[in-house]
């Protein structure tokens, strides 16, 4: 289970005006919610959050959120709202984790090895699915899932139902969904050249005037 730390302060007021002032001061409005607790408004330091997001896969990383006043909560980032056309983060939602209460997370899918079809047949390995959605206890969250492709030959694929995952991990994706496929190499397109000595006939664009006159009678 991947973990990271982040600090936050509480804020007693909400609203668009307050949010704009926070962002102007280098902070980002946030909220924490979860089982058995009232939603609580928070403020994060923009630089600290951006540094964290640069080094972790936030969808599967447990964030130890240290809230000013001495409280600490294990959380998952559930939503990051961004400006429509800027990189600016507008708001963050945290879900507090409760031991024994399963959560749904998306974990990265990583292909391991070189497929036989690629190594011996010049095939192309195409990764169709890059994330897997699972339901799991917070203490058992996987950093990622490795998929061994070394035995994959041309024309064959690996599906979700073939993955071997630890006990207690429930996969929510369709078992028939394709993780990756080894496709045949693309054949080079060859354009047939005209035979030697052959003269290409010009395309008839319009009929001769005599023919047009005959048809008009």
pLDDT digits (tens, 9 = 90+) for 120-140: 999 999 999 999 999 999 889
Given a cut of 90, whether residue 13 has pLDDT beyond it is: no
SS3 3: strand
CB atoms within 10 A of CB 182: 21
Given CA atoms 210, 212, 216, 217 in this order, what sign does their dihedral have? positive
- What domains are there in the chain, each with its CATH number? 2-98 (2.40.240.10), 104-183 (2.170.120.20)
CB atoms within 10 A of CB 28: 24
> Cβ(174)–Cβ(133) under 8 Å?
no
CA 151 to chain centre: 26
pLDDT tens by residue, 35-50: 778 899 999 999 999 9
Question: Between the CA of residue 4 and those of 63, 107, 202, what are the distances in Å?
Answer: 5, 16, 73
pLDDT tens by residue, 174-196: 999 999 999 998 864 444 455 55
């Amino acid at each position: 289970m991947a973990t990271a730390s982040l600090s936050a302060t509480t804020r007693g007021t909400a609203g668009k005006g307050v949010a704009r002032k926070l962002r102007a001061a280098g902070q980002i409005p946030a909220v924490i919610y979860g089982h058995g607790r009232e939603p609580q408004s928070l403020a994060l330091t923009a630089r600290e959050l951006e540094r964290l997001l640069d080094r972790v896969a936030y969808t599967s990383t447990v964030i130890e959120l240290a809230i000013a006043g001495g409280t600490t909560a294990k959380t998952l980032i559930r939503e990051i709202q961004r400006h429509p056309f800027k990189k600016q983060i507008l708001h963050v939602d945290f879900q507090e984790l409760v031991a024994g209460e399963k959560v749904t997370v998306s974990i990265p899918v990583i292909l391991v090895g070189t497929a036989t079809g690629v190594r011996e047949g010049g095939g192309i390995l195409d990764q169709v699915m890059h994330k897997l959605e699972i339901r799991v206890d917070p203490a058992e969250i996987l950093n990622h899932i490795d998929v061994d492709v070394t035995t994959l030959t041309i024309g064959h694929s690996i599906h979700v139902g073939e993955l071997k995952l630890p006990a207690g991990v429930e996969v929510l994706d369709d078992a028939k969904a394709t993780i990756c496929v080894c496709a045949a190499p693309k054949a080079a397109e060859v354009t047939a050249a005209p035979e030697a000595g052959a003269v290409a006939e010009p395309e008839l664009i319009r009929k001769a005037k005599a023919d047009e006159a005959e048809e008009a009678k």
